[in-house]
Structure 1
């Protein structure tokens, strides 16, 4: 019998995710709709506005964490109105060639996808086409306890549905063939084999099953594919020209190689071109620094939604982890509002601090934990300890999307 060790939540994998191994041919950067994406907008570099001492301190703490955690490369962007900005790329985008990381790359954003999916859902609420307290069974048949689980329960991670990414057969199937395509109903079937873990609303449990279902609701109610609805109602109004939900292994250039140890053997591998279909509405999207910077403020302030609907989104409830609460597809960690993402090979953090109108975006090309800690959380914590000591980002470690072999840690 195969032994399954402790998991880390996909936070793409946010796994919280939420990835396919077909070699990616050299193709133009295309969105799922087939439109050619323009080249990424140039990004400001340096620590303009921050004192040389603060800039040097940030350089040091970031590089210390990157080295100690074994992060190949990372991009950090920090914007604090009235104080300055800090944008840096460090390390390498490719461990084989030694190509340096750059600030204009696209990355897989993992569970940050949830903020987009839930925003799309809330657009339908504003349209009057659905209600948050509608049962999921009203829209999708076959959901265990579906007449008691509401759309709100799904968005706030309180449905009680078993996370399909925790199913051993799913993990075996994904890691045996990372190039495989999974349909939404197929991944849900892995979770449906298990009993629900608690009564709806009873507690918090991060489950990608919830967001897959919400993606299906969006498609059924809108009459459009999720990729098209997101483009028309979320990405275009938000002016996010470099963000997309891929339909296969497409990955716009430039992008760094991604490295993971979420393999059957636990060995580190290049997961850049793994197929993210299994994560779909829960964690498959791709973006870049400038788009994530813009999105951080939009999602936290509710720019695309009515004030009433945004207020529902920001009803944060306890998660069981001190300092972190969860609303509708969004969390609050130390006052920073947004989401993180983790998918094999990549991690991101996109958060906004309303009290200072500050934005923090991180993009890493690994999801390999360091002494039980997610690398993106280590970097975010180090940065916020320096610049906002009264508001320190301190996300708990989520379970992994898949379970590598148990190995001793140093």
Structure 2
């Protein structure tokens, strides 16, 4: 989902801050008592992923260019691959609308709610070390949380806390858009949430919420005795072998990077958000990465190489979140594709892995402006997977914004 604070759909999220579902802003809700289809599609008996031949590449080119034009996305980079099947790695469009500089595959990008996968990995490492328990109440680590004696770390990571999403607070929206280069502290972000009543009892249903990740970031800091950015960079990013992935401590944005375009502004007009301060997303959406690192991270995340098998199994135990999509501990399963999406002002990302084919799909965009009620990364993901994995189409339905 995205970490977006308002606007259309989310399914996987970003801080989109907040992905819709893989995001940070808009919310998705799922009632545990409501009937519905299984969240995860059954895996086929045989590997059906196609060879990425020139003919298939031509189909993919056509599909991506169609979405690029229809959704008015400035630029997008796509990487699709599977062992023994070849790879498809392309950039389309422009990285900078002012200069016309083309989008490139080596650019650094803000990844929004994909950050959640790193924060939850950090938490689960501490669980593996016996320093925290998934069924511990958040009140054990952070004081002043509504229902903090009953909301567990597991429910926070699984988006089932019932807390209000700070990125949907009107005061937050005005503060951010009024001065998008200002820093926010985690405590300020929680303040926007805690001024609202809880939305439901702990574990009653699924609802995507960036507040949950801010709290988990504070847990990592308290338990490890290390600032979150330093812990993630040293204990998650480096062991994963990622060379161009960064949890920034400020607004720095390494070059080369694409400019990012958003309409989540005070005026409602589209602006370049490349130098906006991502601290408002913090543990839910502040990170930066590039294509090669995210292709590697997709597999690491889905296979759990930084965690014990038992803990990874808990992470991947999903509950229904949306039709065709389930959510585990900071991770989506959308028709068999495991990973997360991300969205924050100016940028969008999708980082997913299909286990039975060992296939990886990564998308990086320089806009978060929705198209027909969906995150633009979802529209690209659906178009691509309809071609290569028609039994596993990455599709996240649009949902109304909640909590306003």
CA distance in 1, matches of 2:242, 2:52: 27
Contact 1:263 1:402 in 2 (8 A): no
The equivalent residue for 1:316 is 318
- After superposition, the C-alpha distances for 1:345-377 in whole angstroms (9 at most, x for unaligned) are 000000000010000000000000112121110
The equivalent residue for 1:352 is 353
- The reply on whether 1:13 has 2:16 as its aligned counterpart is yes
Contact 1:11 1:18 in 2 (8 A): yes
The equivalent residue for 2:382 is 381
Q: Matched residue of 2:90: which SS? A: strand
Which residue, 115, 118, 131 being the options, matches 1:116?
118
Contact 1:324 1:331 in 2 (8 A): yes
Contact 1:116 1:234 in 2 (8 A): yes
Which residue, 82, 85, 94 being the options, matches 1:80?
82
Q: Matched residue of 2:167: which SS? A: helix
The equivalent residue for 1:31 is none
Contact 1:14 1:398 in 2 (8 A): no
The equivalent residue for 2:97 is 95
The equivalent residue for 1:164 is 166
Q: Matched residue of 1:171: which SS? A: helix
CA distance in 1, matches of 2:56, 2:92: 17
The equivalent residue for 1:61 is 63
Q: Matched residue of 2:139: which SS? A: helix
Structure 2-normalised TM-score? Answer: 0.89
Contact 1:171 1:402 in 2 (8 A): no
Change beyond 3 A, Cα 1:192–1:223 = same
- After superposition, the C-alpha distances for 1:178-237 in whole angstroms (9 at most, x for unaligned) are 011100010100000000000000000100000000000000000001111112211111
Shift of 1:395: 2.1
CA distance in 1, matches of 2:375, 2:72: 11
1:197-346 alignment to 2 at 5 Å? 197-319=199-321, 321-346=322-347
Structure 1-normalised TM-score? Answer: 0.88
The equivalent residue for 1:152 is 154
- After superposition, the C-alpha distances for 1:131-190 in whole angstroms (9 at most, x for unaligned) are 100000001000001000000000000000000001100001110110111000101000
Shift of 1:61: 0.5
CA distance in 2, matches of 1:196, 1:332: 27
CA distance in 2, matches of 1:371, 1:232: 40
CA distance in 1, matches of 2:194, 2:247: 25
CA distance in 1, matches of 2:402, 2:97: 24
CA distance in 1, matches of 2:66, 2:102: 17
Change beyond 3 A, Cα 1:212–1:399 = farther
Shift of 1:6: 5.0
Change beyond 3 A, Cα 1:98–1:227 = same
Shift of 1:50: 2.2
Q: Matched residue of 1:204: which SS? A: strand
* Structure 1 moving runs of 4+ over 4 Å: 4-10, 398-403
Gaps of 5+ in 1: 20-47, 404-410
Shift of 1:83: 1.1
Contact 1:14 1:112 in 2 (8 A): no
CA distance in 2, matches of 1:400, 1:240: 35
The equivalent residue for 2:143 is 141
Q: Matched residue of 1:338: which SS? A: strand
CA distance in 1, matches of 2:198, 2:79: 40
Q: Matched residue of 1:57: which SS? A: helix
CA distance in 1, matches of 2:398, 2:14: 9
Q: Matched residue of 2:206: which SS? A: coil
CA distance in 1, matches of 2:204, 2:343: 26
Q: What RMSD over aligned residues (CA atoms) do the two structures have, in Å?
A: 1.9
Q: Matched residue of 2:18: which SS? A: coil
